[in-house]
Each structure stands twice: as structure tokens, then as C-alpha cells.
Amino acid sequence: EADIYQTPRYLVIGTGKKITLECSQTMGHDKMYWYQQDPGMELHLIHYSYGVNSTEKGDLSSESTVSRIRTEHFPLTLESARPSHTSQYLCASSDGGEKLFFGSGTQLSVL
Amino acid sequence: GENVEQHPSTLSVQEGDSAVIKCTYSDSASNYFPWYKQELGKRPQLIIDIRSNVGEKKDQRIAVTLNKTAKHFSLHITETQPEDSAVYFCAARGTAGNKLTFGGGTRVLVKP
């Protein structure tokens, strides 16, 4: 079934660790996005990509980085996790239209 | 860039009553305005959207209105049901980078 998948669903990690949040979509969408969201709160765009080898920073400053080597894959990496990075990270994709399809999210807790 | 403000932040209604959420935007060139619903612990999902060349759009119990002159748009839910309880986000697509900017969200609670 065509969908957008995020792993892991939950991640608890210690300060200073390097982590990568995975996001893959099987819908053939060119555009992909990463949002940061505290539970039930505003969605903040932190990164986006309009195609392979294209990445841009979003409206909210983030210490994370992203890559887009394949159309279907858009991983997000934190080189050194800190407690301030604790949040939910939502990946999304869209086709030529405007509708965003969101993944189920990764809830990150940094101790 | 675009700035979207959403009100109220919380809304409690009795089952069967109507709910109205309002959003204002800053970029007069914005041309696309979607609404997303996020149930507790779930991913946001698009429920309705409107483009700048249309003033109103309706889909069963939900409707959206757009006033381009005043730069505001609203979500109307009629005959509310407990399953309408969720956080609702408005958004606007501005001209900078063709990105969506979301409002702060409205937590709607429908009391049976």
C-alpha cells in the first residue's frame, strides 16, 4: 500500500548521541518535508526537499541535517542530541498538488 | 514570509452545536488554504482546502470560507459529533518557497 513510513516510532536516547530518523514514501512524490511538533501544538517546518539532491532549511532553525539521495528516502540526522531536541518529528510528502501526506511521526526523548 | 494566526486555541462545544475556527494570514499573494485535523496520537490529515479564486467550499458537515480582502479564512463544523474532537490546523501557502505555514492549532472538544 502506498504510504509514508517513519522509523523508529519512539526513541529514547542519551545526550550527545548521533541519531538518524528515517522517512520513506512509496507514493513517488517529489516533495518531502520535516516538521517538528510538540504534542498538539504548532507544526514547525525544519527542512524540505523538492527533489533528489535538493534540500532547504525551513522556517524554524534546527541543528539537524537532511539528505535526499533517493526520491523515496528523506532521513533526518542529529549529530549530537540534546534535551532541547525532545519533540515529535513528522515527515510529510506531496505530489504536484498541495495535499500533504504525513507519516506517523517519531517521538524523540533526549535524556 | 507568511504568518498565520489561528483563534481560538481551545474550543468546547456541546454535541450538535456548530464550531467555528478563524485564521488570518499576512501574505496577500497566498493562494492556497488547507485545513488539517489531528486526532490524539495520530498524524494530521487534510479535511478540506480552498483556493484563492473561490470564496466558499463545503463538504458535508464542514465548510471553509475565504475573505481575501480581509486576509482571513474560517472553518465551520455543523452538527458536531464526539468524533470531531481533535486539534485543527489551518495553513496558508505563501509566495516564498511555495511552502505551507501552519497556524498554532485549535483544540476542539465536543461534549456529549
pLDDT digits (tens, 9 = 90+) for B62-78: 999 999 999 999 999 99
Interface contact B96, partner A, CB < 8 A: no
SS3 A9: coil
Dihedral, CA atoms, A41, A33, A104, A85, nearest 10 degrees?
-60
Q: Residue A58 and residue B99: Cβ atoms within 8 Å?
A: yes
Q: Are the C-beta atoms of residues B57 and B50 closer than 8 Å to each other?
A: yes
The pLDDT-based confidence of A54 (bands split at 50, 70, 90) is very high
Contacts of A42 in chain B (CB under 8 A): 89, 102-105
Residue A23 has pLDDT above 80, yes or no: yes
Residue B97 has pLDDT above 70, yes or no: no
DSSP letter (8 states) at residue B57 = E
